[in-house]
Amino acid sequence: MEAQLPALAEKRGRRKLTTRIIFSVQALRIQFDNRSVIHNLSSTWVPFHEIQDESQMETLSMSNSENQQIVLASRPIGAPTPDNFRFETQPIPAPVQGQMLLRTIYLSLDPYMRGRMSEAPSYAPPVAIGDVMVGSTVSQVEISHHPDFAAGDMVLSQSGWQDYAVSDGKGVFRLGAQMKHPSYALGVLGMPGFTAYMGLLEIGQPVAGETVVVAAATGAVGSVVGQIAKLKGSHVVGIAGGERKCRSAVEYLGFDACIDHQDPALKGLLAQACPKGIDVYFENVGGAVFEAVLPLLNTRSRIPLCGLIAHYNDREAPQGGDRTAQVMGTFLKRRVRVQGFIIFDDYGSHFGEFQKQMSEWFTAGKIKYREDIVEGLERAPDAFIGLLQGKNFGKLVVQVGAAIK
Ligand SMILES: NC(=O)c1ccc[n+]([C@@H]2O[C@H](COP(=O)([O-])OP(=O)(O)OC[C@H]3O[C@@H](n4cnc5c(N)ncnc54)[C@H](OP(=O)(O)O)[C@@H]3O)[C@@H](O)[C@H]2O)c1
């Protein structure tokens, strides 16, 4: 069964209303998140599973009798639009022996998903037209016929953009029952945090006193890059979109400076903020930001090439002259080391080391974290489109359902 986006959004909206009445305290938290209130582990934020009682949970659980999905309807030409997505309603799948039924609590939205919508060759296959959009989730085991998982377990899985998924347990990891904020497994304690950690420390190798510049500075990866660089004694300059994000980078994340890439004076402002040049540029963006960074690169500087989000919606190569000689010439003359990486392909074996170190820093309050939580699976397409325009402020996560204690 298929449904058009507004009709389904309205239907889901009615269902969510029940949820909002029952979980008024949780709804309040979500609204605060949408107003971008900053919270971290040391805050007094009360996780919702601590304020629920069993009878309320039963009501919510029973209200979900279908599996709502968002599938890829067509491939975008340029920036994705809502038409590229389609809502579908399917029966909830039934797990057989050796399988389990997972219910999605949080869905992570990440820039790599733009690549999966495209047929262009990449390091991972595209999503087929009509298939459920891929994505990491924090899910709860609803029914288990699997020896290693029990009903009620919170897990990290790859359930995609849907309410329910059946899994045989491959690539599914149990989250500790003591984890107060399971959604953090999709951000600072998961893939984006790991990307920041390995990219900066393995490729960037910042030395105390050096200048580290990071783009998309308040995002899931960039915010962690800058904070780790500060822990290593670097002079840290962020680049972000807008005054509000830049203020947060300095006042909340503790960067030394942050430059707004929307400011026409970007090049001059960046030069002022980096009086000794740039030793490490953590590349998340490309485009005008890279152009501002290039003349400031020091001899023997390093560029962890993590992402190029400013170009993900490009339809064709940028107009203008061939800049290869200028860019490569700078790399050559200044002996710049540029290294691209795909986090789990290249560094997967280091995940345990990352988890241990990041948990220590995080628990000690040395790393701060901000989420941008959107309520309702039906809002995922718009939220994802916004991510590619810089509308998110912090790690973008969709709250799809509520956990049952
Ligand atoms: N190599 C890997 O294994 C790996 C793993 C994870 C992520 N990544 C890459 O890391 C980068 C950051 O990912 P994330 O998950 O942390 O996302 P994010 O920073 O939380 O969100 C994306 C941000 O990109 C910035 N942006 C979007 N369009 C832009 C444009 N045209 N020009 C300049 N900035 C733009 C916006 O921030 P502002 O408003 O501040 O500009 C936006 O908020 C992405 O390029 C992603 O592909 C790579």
Residue range 150-209, pLDDT digits in tens: 999 999 999 999 999 999 999 999 998 778 899 999 999 999 999 999 999 999 999 999
Choosing from 284, 344, 392, 397 the residue with most ligand 1 atoms within 8 A of its CB, the one to mutate for a pocket test is 284
Say how many Å lie between the CA of residue 210 and the centre of ligand 1: 23
Query: Using one digit for the tens of pLDDT, what is the confidence trace for 224-241?
Result: 999 999 999 999 999 999
pLDDT band at 45 (very low <50, low <70, confident <90, very high): very low
Q: Using the CB atoms, write b or e for 288-301: b if 16+ within 10 Å.
A: ebbebbbebbbeeb
The more confident residue out of 36 and 265 is: 265
Q: Which atom of ligand 1 is nearest to the CA of 112?
A: 47
Mutate to test the pocket of ligand 1, among 214, 263, 285 (most ligand atoms within 8 A of CB): 285
For the record, the structure tokens of 94 come out as 């039934």
- Left if phi > 0, otherwise alpha if psi is -120 to 50, otherwise beta: which for 160? left
* Mean pLDDT on 335-358: 97
* 33 vs 100 pLDDT, higher one: 100
Residue whose CA is closest, atom 21 of ligand 1?
Answer: 219
pLDDT level of residue 346 (50, 70, 90 thresholds): very high
DSSP 3-state helix, strand, coil percentages of the chain (rounded to 5)?
Answer: 35, 20, 40
Whether pLDDT at 6 is above 90: no
- For residues 320 and 64, which has the higher predicted lDDT (pLDDT)? 320
Q: Give me the pLDDT at residue 65, please.
A: 80
Instruction: Give tens-digit pLDDT for 386-405.
Output: 999 999 999 999 999 998 87
Q: Percentage of residues in the chain with pLDDT exceeding 70?
A: 84
pLDDT given for residue 162 in this prediction: 98
Q: What is the CA(260)–ligand 1 centre distance, in A? A: 15
112 CA from centroid of ligand 1 (Å):
9
- Ligand 1 centroid–CA 307 distance in Å is 7
pLDDT value at residue 146: 98
Contact assessment for residue 270 and residue 237, using Cβ atoms and an 8 Å cutoff: yes
- pLDDT tens for 260-290 read 999 999 999 999 999 999 999 999 999 999 9
pLDDT of residue 317: 81
Confidence of residue 60 (pLDDT cuts 50, 70, 90): very low
User: Over 50: is that where the pLDDT of 48 sits?
Assistant: no
- pLDDT for 320 equals 82
Pairwise CA distance, residues 297 & 334, whole Å? 7
CB 398 within 8 A of CB 372: no
Pocket residues for ligand 1 (CB within 6 Å)? 110-112, 192, 195, 216, 218-222, 240-241, 245, 261, 284-285, 287, 289, 306-307, 309-310, 341-343, 387-388, 390, 392, 395
The residue whose CA is least distant from atom 43 of ligand 1 is 390
- Collapsing DSSP to helix, strand or coil, 136 comes out as coil
Determine the distance separating the centroid of ligand 1 and the alpha carbon of 216, expressed in angstroms. 5
